[in-house]
Amino acid sequence: MAFVTRQFVRSVSSSSAASASAKKIIVKHVTVIGGGLMGAGIAQVCGSLIRFSSNSAVSVAAATGHTVVLVDQTEDILAKSKKGIEESLRKVAKKKFAENPKAGDEFVEKTLSSISTSTDAASVVHSTDLVVEAIVENLKVKSELFTRLDKFASEHTIFASNTSSLQITNIANATTRQDRFAGLHFFNPVPLMKLVEVIKTPMTSQKTYESLIDFTKALGKHPVSCKDTPGFIVNRLLVPYLLEAVRLYERGDASKEDIDTAMKLGAGYPMGPFELLDYVGLDTTKFILDGWYEMDAKNPLFQPIPSLNKLVAENKLGKKTGEGYYKYK
């Protein structure tokens, strides 16, 4: 009797698992909104037909079969995005197919052929499985976009935002599909960075969450899960660390140079906090901090930084403008 019971339990468990698995959305068609650095990178990894292992060898996991539509406002922006994707792919091909250039050319051409472009998001989302938004970090703009797309997208379509600083719940509330809405936070540069934060709001269904985990793995990325908390995992730990470094400097406790050197040699970090701030962009860090301060003004970690505000006001945003906490030639 015990044997029969165990067999019955195993059978029911297997059937339940199979049923749950069958309900998940298998993402094949992806629409990426935003042709900037992040959007183009996401489109590239979605369109790549070959996945690579961490070493130089080509992995066996190939042909995920994703087709991608990259959307932005003008053809000029999309042309630049497509050119950037091709240049990035050729760098990958040169490295990964060093001994077989012909195979490298085929890899580039096949990937590019799976990525099309459009300036009309509403006309392409009706047949997509997943919409990934990577536009300006502005809640109003994102909300207006998703409200519009919600009217045209298929019932099964999952919406995801690549935001690094805004709350996913607030964006999802602009739609009628809160259960099919989540965060997919990729990291720059997207083709190289393995991590993707999968953000589950209180309304995100388990089916949506599991579908996105599977999709992320299919891209050859490593997903981590997080609730819809400010900054998610990486930025919630990284940004306060960067800001504490600035406060240490502002108090006169140590110089920028010594703080950077200490964290590189003492903690093993590849870049010091001031070097990283300038690399990321001081305006980006200020934007994140301002958003967190609005949400929780009493949190000591989220208090304004005088030197950061001054540099941003002077348009000294870091490496991209030639000067931030350091000067660049």
Which residues are catalytically annotated?
164, 185, 197, 235
The answer to the question of whether 227 is labelled as a binding residue is no
54 is in an annotated binding site: no
Residues 6+ apart with CB under 8 A from 151: 122
User: Which DSSP symbol is given to 327?
Assistant: B
| Amino acid sitting at position 48 | S
Q: Is 252 annotated to bind ligand?
A: no
Is there a binding annotation on residue 35?
A: yes
Residue 298 tokens, joined: 């009493």
Phi and psi of 53, rounded to 5°? -80, 180
Tokens of 315: 């348009």
Exposure on the CB side of residue 209, measured as CA atoms within 13 A: 15
- Say if residue 281 carries a ligand binding annotation: no
142 is in an annotated binding site: yes
Say if residue 164 carries a ligand binding annotation: yes
Beta-bridged to residue 116, according to DSSP, are 69
Q: Is 161 annotated as a binding residue?
A: no
Is residue 56 annotated as involved in ligand binding? no
Does the annotation list 268 as a binding residue?
Answer: no
Three-state SS annotation for 43-75:
HHHHHCCEEECCCCCEEEEECCCCEEEEECCCH
State yes or no: 49 annotated in a binding site: no
**DSSP string of 253-276, one letter each residue:** SS-HHHHHHHHHHHS--SS-HHHH
Was 231 annotated as part of a binding site? no
Which residues does 211 contact at the CB level (< 8 Å), separation at least 6? Answer: 24, 25, 26, 27, 158
Q: Which residues are annotated as a binding site for NAD(+)?
A: 34-39, 72, 137, 142, 164, 188, 320
Q: Which residues are annotated as a binding site?
A: 34-39, 72, 88, 95, 137, 142, 164, 188, 320
Q: Which residues are annotated as a binding site for CoA?
A: 88, 95, 164
